[in-house]
Structure 1
Amino acid sequence: MKVHFIAVGGSAMHNLAIALHKKGYTITGSDDEIFDPSKSRLEKYGILPQNWGWYPEKLTTDIDAIILGMHARIDNPELLKAQELGLKIYSYPEYIYEQTKDKIRIVIGGSHGKTTTTSMVMHVFKENHIDFDYMVGAQIEGFETMVKLSKDAKIAIFEGDEYLSSPIDRRPKFHLYHPNIALLTGIAWDHINVFPTFENYVEQFEIFTKLIQASGSLIYFDGDEHINKIVNNKRDNIDYIPYNTPKYKLINNKTVLTTNFGDIELEIFGEHNLQNLMGAYYICKKAGLSDKDFYTTIQTFSGAAKRLQKLSESESCTVFQDFAHSPSKLKATTEAVKKQFANRKLIACMELHTFSSLKKEFLPQYKNTMKLADEAIVYFNPKTIEHKKLEPITKEQVAESFGGNNIKVFTDSNEVISTLLSNNFKNTNVLLMSSGNFSGVNLCQLADNIIAKS
């Protein structure tokens, strides 16, 4: 099979390219620019494009499939040439389905927690020697790539993202997987640039439940009112399995789960993570794992990259990094750290970086999301707003939207760092939240500098 990737440098795209290369396919790709880690990883497998740019003249009729990345534009020269040649063009979720349509597909969707829940299931399956294919949106410890596709695995696990599939396929990605086992973690408005109303956003999850295969299962968090409205209209040909927060206790800043097998000390913490754990539990149960096998192996799960990831720590201070950027994620992550370390001060720092978060109409959704932090810092870069062609916002608008007396707003990342480092970090935790990197800040170095002052 010959497969060509247009915009191969993307996070999911380059991982899919590597997965197909490992499967024995002939892979080519192009992009206008590729950064690390994509660049070095593609280079390792000998599939990094020799030159940046688009080369429509290299496309030929013997290519079996074109995989089109979201980063490409609808007037991309290679896309136009592929259409002219009549080549089969797929989005990456569409192609992943094609590769796994004869397998049992497990798809984890929701506005938050889907990466973590997917990672939990992957970890437990791996530790219990279950062979499976997968696609997940973060680097997971113990897994070299974020995508695996094989001939022999009978099960495939996907993180079900609700964002659009490609520039020419405007369907949400998770509509293309047709799960046998589906899970919904929760619904909170996101991607305002694609789903301009909350009702339109919720509708995508309702459609997702209708795409579950007959005799399949929907596992869902029953503490979410929007999911409960969706499951009120039950189908008679699938199972419905609700879950909620399990019983637990906090001992010496550690979360301890109460189970039939006794107390299970976890490496993760926070009620959202415990809810994710219960969702993962029911998926594993559906896959035939015993309770003992699940609880024994979930103990060693330490989390996905950038999901309450410890960057550095001392006896009296821990610096966490989290991908949180939407209001629901921000609130859950801030609450998780404060409740887990109730005896420590919390400095929470977040960057408004996505299209939704920088849109003036969306800002009020952030009301009180960081109220449990002792000090809260919000940063945004006006140049990012300009680049996204959005209406300018002010520091005053941001402060008013977040509310509370603990908020400081900055538009200069150097001021964020100097303000942070002016603190005494003894008996203090720091939480750095963004889908970006605070305009080029080395967060690992910043974390080490913070710990040096603790």
Structure 2
Amino acid sequence: MISEQQLYQQVQGKTRVVILASKDENNITAMLLHVLNYYDKQVDFVLANGKQSIDESNEFIVIEAAKNADALKGNIALVIDVNPEIHTAGFVNSITNGGMLVYYEEVAAVKLIVESSTNTIKKYPYKAPDYSFENEVYFIDTNEGKLPLEITNENDIKHLLGAKWICQHMGVDEDDFYEAVGEFRA
């Protein structure tokens, strides 16, 4: 497996979408890739488990951050939790000028790191969506009403809006996101 510095050198011409999450939140990347695949949006990816697909012609690359995530210099990033293996403040400050960061504001440490950063990036906080559990099915509240999900992990539901923000910045509108995520199974 190549280092983050080598990966950056290989993909620096692409829009780098970097996901910083702990092992418990790794389904967020799967959710993101599911939605993009649902609409045949071709993207490269490098996952923390070593799986990868890189094609010279794709504009975006989705990267699950491991150690040395700041070397990736993300253009678009998602921070869910403070990862003890990664210097989260360094990662936030490494996002390219004018880039964007989506972050889970319900984790106080994440909110503090992001809000204290002076990096010139757009910052988009999110919270868990309103949701319910009825007859063994999770539902989230959307502008169109209650949407049943095939997701069975409550933690994945908490971070669904983070994935929505990232998808919107990759060209998938909100209604289309909800259509695709309604069929996501982890």
TM-score for the superposition, normalised by structure 2: 0.92
Larger radius of gyration, structure 1 or 2?
1
Over aligned residue pairs, what C-alpha RMSD do you find?
Answer: 1.8
* Distance of 1:236 and 1:148 partners within structure 2: 30
Residue 148 of structure 1: how far off its partner (Å): 0.6
* Distance of 2:36 and 2:20 partners within structure 1: 19
Unmatched segments (≥5 aa) in structure 1: 1-12, 14-90, 139-144, 162-171, 192-200, 304-454
Aligned ranges for residues 24-103 of structure 1 at < 5 Å?
91-103=2-14
* Distance of 1:146 and 1:114 partners within structure 2: 17
* Distance of 1:187 and 1:112 partners within structure 2: 11
Task: Note the alpha carbon deviations across 1:392-439, whole angstroms, 9 max, x for none.
Answer: xxxxxxxxxxxxxxxxxxxxxxxxxxxxxxxxxxxxxxxxxxxxxxxx
Which residue does the alignment assign to 1:226?
A: 109
Which residue does the alignment assign to 1:217?
A: 100
Aligned ranges for residues 288-327 of structure 1 at < 5 Å?
288-303=171-186
Which residue does the alignment assign to 2:31?
A: 120
Matched-pair contact (CA < 8 Å) for 1:112–1:185: no
Determine whether 1:176 maps to 2:81: no
Q: 1:251 aligns with which of 134, 155, 162?
A: 134
Task: Note the alpha carbon deviations across 1:251-293, whole angstroms, 9 max, x for none.
Answer: 1111011111222111113442112211100101111211111
Letter in 2 for 1:106: V
* Distance of 2:8 and 2:149 partners within structure 1: 34
* Distance of 1:114 and 1:173 partners within structure 2: 19
Matched-pair contact (CA < 8 Å) for 2:82–2:109: yes
Residue 237 of structure 1: how far off its partner (Å): 1.7
Letter in 2 for 1:160: A
* Distance of 1:99 and 1:263 partners within structure 2: 43
**Aligned sequence identity (%):** 26
Residue 113 of structure 1: how far off its partner (Å): 4.3
* Distance of 1:124 and 1:154 partners within structure 2: 16
Aligned ranges for residues 129-278 of structure 1 at < 5 Å?
129-138=40-49, 146-161=51-66, 172-187=67-82, 189=84, 204-235=87-118, 237-278=120-161
* Distance of 2:156 and 2:54 partners within structure 1: 27
Letter in 2 for 1:150: D
Residue 93 of structure 1: how far off its partner (Å): 2.4
Matched-pair contact (CA < 8 Å) for 1:243–1:275: no
SS at the partner of 2:56?
A: coil
Task: Note the alpha carbon deviations across 1:130-189, whole angstroms, 9 max, x for none.
Answer: 111101135xxxxxx82011110000000012xxxxxxxxxx331221100111111264
* Distance of 1:270 and 1:149 partners within structure 2: 29
Unmatched segments (≥5 aa) in structure 2: none
SS at the partner of 2:159?
A: helix
* Distance of 2:178 and 2:128 partners within structure 1: 15
* Distance of 1:113 and 1:217 partners within structure 2: 23
* Distance of 2:62 and 2:25 partners within structure 1: 11
Residue 114 of structure 1: how far off its partner (Å): 4.4
* Distance of 1:253 and 1:122 partners within structure 2: 25
* Distance of 2:127 and 2:146 partners within structure 1: 18
* Distance of 1:188 and 1:237 partners within structure 2: 22
Determine whether 1:106 maps to 2:17: yes
* Distance of 2:31 and 2:71 partners within structure 1: 23
Name the count of aligned residue pairs.
Answer: 186
* Distance of 2:56 and 2:149 partners within structure 1: 34
SS at the partner of 2:118?
A: coil
Matched-pair contact (CA < 8 Å) for 2:93–2:119: no
Residue 112 of structure 1: how far off its partner (Å): 4.3
* Distance of 2:129 and 2:120 partners within structure 1: 28
* Distance of 1:301 and 1:240 partners within structure 2: 27
Determine whether 1:284 maps to 2:179: no
Aligned ranges for residues 343-422 of structure 1 at < 5 Å?
none
Residue 236 of structure 1: how far off its partner (Å): 5.5
TM-score for the superposition, normalised by structure 1: 0.39
* Distance of 2:25 and 2:71 partners within structure 1: 16
Task: Note the alpha carbon deviations across 1:211-248, whole angstroms, 9 max, x for none.
Answer: 00010011100011111111231336210100111011
